[in-house]
Amino acid sequence: MVKQTRRSAERQPIADAGETLGERLRRLRRDKGLSIADLAKTSGVPASTVSKIENGLLNPSLVHAINLASALDANLGFLVDRSRTRHARHAVVRSSQRGRRDFTEMGMVLEDLNIGFAPGVLESRVGRIEAGAHSGLEYMTHPGEELAHVLSGSVTYDLDGEEYLLGEGDTLHFKCDVPHRWANPNDREAVLLWVFSDGLSF
């Protein structure tokens, strides 16, 4: 039985709709007391790239985004999430309320399923991956574990040289310190549910 209440809707936090990705990155950097040069050194992302991202002149690649988040000890939800209630004990996220981030250069859209809930152990995203899109030529690594469940279409995952084809309904669960990357080699969109542990995710 679904419990409905008007008060739950009234208590939803109001997002700062005017804050851009670059502004959120700048705020996180300054909160850590880091200069652009400091962040560039820690993350391995060139200072010129960090500056362009902060000024809205460039969208980060997924690998750069992971490296920046790791250097800032932040969750990659900063890419899509504009508001979190720090002490919320539960949250209902309607499909129309999901935070959304377009990675145009990668052919991917991420939707945040954690809006309104305090950052914690688990993070989840719905990823819509265009035909032919991929995570990049570089392998990714980050803390924690990752679970990828294919809702529709199919994708391939490369785990340190071992390739797995995942079709609709298939699930892959792995440790994220294993170098990994993914691709949609097909002629139709793939939709994935991603769940991450340790608070670091894209």
Structural domain harbouring 116: 95-197
Under the banding of pLDDT at 50, 70 and 90, the label for residue 52 is very high
Confidence of residue 37 (pLDDT cuts 50, 70, 90): very high
CATH number of the domain where residue 180 is located: 2.60.120.10
Residue 132 lies in a domain: yes
154 inside domain: yes
Q: Are residues 142 and 55 in the same domain?
A: no
The tokens describing 151, both together, are 């809702």
Q: How many domains does the chain have?
A: 2
Tell me, yes or no, whether 59 and 101 share the same domain. Answer: no
Alpha-helical runs (H) found in the chain = 6-10, 21-31, 36-43, 47-54, 62-71
User: Do 118 and 85 meet the contact criterion of CB atoms below 8 Å apart?
Assistant: yes
Q: Find, among 68, 31, 36, the residue nearest to 55 by Cα.
A: 36
Together in a domain, 132 and 42: no
Q: Quick one: tokens of 160?
A: 């340190």
Left if phi > 0, otherwise alpha if psi is -120 to 50, otherwise beta: which for 100?
A: beta
Mean pLDDT, the chain, integer: 81
Mapped onto helix, strand or coil, the DSSP state of residue 54 is helix
Cα–Cα distances in Å, from 53 out to 59, 140, 196?
6, 20, 25
Mean pLDDT of 138-149: 88
| pLDDT confidence band for 178 (50 / 70 / 90) | very high
8 A C-beta contact, residue 65 and residue 49: no
Among 81-95, 114-128, 168-182, which is the least confidently predicted range? 81-95
Choice between 4 and 167, residue whose per-residue pLDDT is larger: 167
Q: Closest by alpha carbon to 141, among 174, 195, 180?
A: 180
Find out whether 124 and 196 touch, Cβ atoms under 8 Å: yes
Point out the least confidently predicted range of 16-20, 69-73, 127-131: 16-20
**Domain membership flag for residue 2:** no
Average pLDDT over residues 14-25: 64
The rounded distance, in Å, linking the Cα atoms of 108 and 102 is 6
Element spanning 9, H or E: helix 6-10
Q: Tell me the C-alpha distance between 124 and 53, whole Å.
A: 24
Looking at the predicted structure, is the pLDDT value of residue 6 above 70? no
Q: Which residue has the higher pLDDT, 80 or 196?
A: 196
| 66 in the same domain as 132 | no
Residue 64 pLDDT: 84
pLDDT band, residue 91 (cuts 50/70/90):
confident
Mean pLDDT value of segment 150-169: 97
